[in-house]
Amino acid sequence: MSESVDPLVKITRVPERGAYDKESIYSTFDDGYLCHVAYESDHGPVVLPTLYGRHENFIYFHGSPAAGMFRRANSDVNISLVVTHVDGFVLARSLFHHSMNYRSVVVIGKAEKVEDPKEVMHGLEVITENCLPGRWDEARQPNDVELRQTTVFRLELTAASVKARTGAPGDDAEDIDLDIWAGVFPVVSGVGNPIPSPDFTAGTDLPSSLRTFRQIPEDA
């Protein structure tokens, strides 16, 4: 990916919030696990959520070969894939300057169905490890029957951009002295206490990989 900006993903609205460097693109993907994919249908664009992982300059995502999204993704038409992190509610004195702090990364391109069985397994490992670090080696790995029910796609990060807002509200000067609270409510998320499966009767403790899995910081 060159540093020149692909016009497909150029930030035109508030351009100073845009970034196109690999580090920004990779880190915004690596902080998330859920993306939204938009693909062409006979009735206009359709957008659906799915899980993903990144390896080098590729995003991997997977699904059932029966799902419409995946039948259509492997075509000559571009798809668009976005990951959005909500970092805070920005409360200004004026409603007009209310906003969100966020980071979002968008990539536009042609998804390729992964055909090589080794790369299929690699793609599934990339997705699993992105969502649940350490889980690939703990759980039972896919067998041939299961692999036939799974389609893996990859999308190269050729045309991608990040848009982000950070910091305090930007009220107009004439509003600063209004008697209205202004500031940011940071958004935090993570996991709560794990709920073992009702059919889980083995003595197995929670693996160490999961003991600190996406815990919410105490000082949040």
Pick out residues in 124-143 that bind a copy of itself (CB under 8 A).
Answer: 124, 128, 131-132, 135-136, 138-143
Q: Which of 21, 148, 166, 188 binds a copy of itself (CB under 8 A)?
A: 188
CB-CB contact of 152 with 59 (8 Å): no
CB of 3 to a copy of itself, least distance (A): 21
Count of CB atoms within 10 A of residue 163's CB?
21
Determine if 183 is a binding residue for a copy of itself (CB under 8 A).
yes
Q: What is the total count of residues that contact a copy of itself (CB under 8 A)?
A: 97
Q: For residue 193, state whether it binds a copy of itself (rule: CB under 8 A).
A: yes
- Interface pick for a copy of itself out of 4, 66, 118, 212 (rule CB under 8 A): 66
Stretch 97-116 residues interacting with a copy of itself (CB under 8 A): 98, 100, 102, 104, 106, 108
**What 3-state class would DSSP assign to 152?**
strand
Distance CA 134, CA 165 (A): 32
Q: Is 180 in the site for a copy of itself (CB under 8 A)?
A: yes
Provide, rounded to whole angstroms, the least separation between the CB of residue 40 and a copy of itself. 6
From 22-30, 52-60, 85-93, 112-120, span contacting a copy of itself (CB under 8 A): 85-93
115/153 Cα distance (integer angstroms): 9
Q: Which residues contact 147 (CB under 8 A, 6 or more apart)?
A: 117, 120, 121
The sheet that has 151-156: what strands, in order across it? Answer: 18-19, 159-165, 99-109, 79-91, 34-41, 44-55, 58-63, 151-156, 112-113
Q: What angle do CA 194, 188, 196 make, to 5 degrees?
A: 5
Which of 149, 123, 138, 144 lies closest to 51 in space, CA to CA? 123
Element spanning 209, H or E? helix 208-211
5, 158, 165, 213: which one binds a copy of itself (CB under 8 A): 213
- Give the nearest distance from C-beta 153 to a copy of itself in angstroms: 15
Q: Does 206 bind a copy of itself (CB under 8 A)?
A: yes
| Residues of span 6-65 touching a copy of itself by CB under 8 A | 8, 12-13, 34, 36-40, 43-49, 51, 64
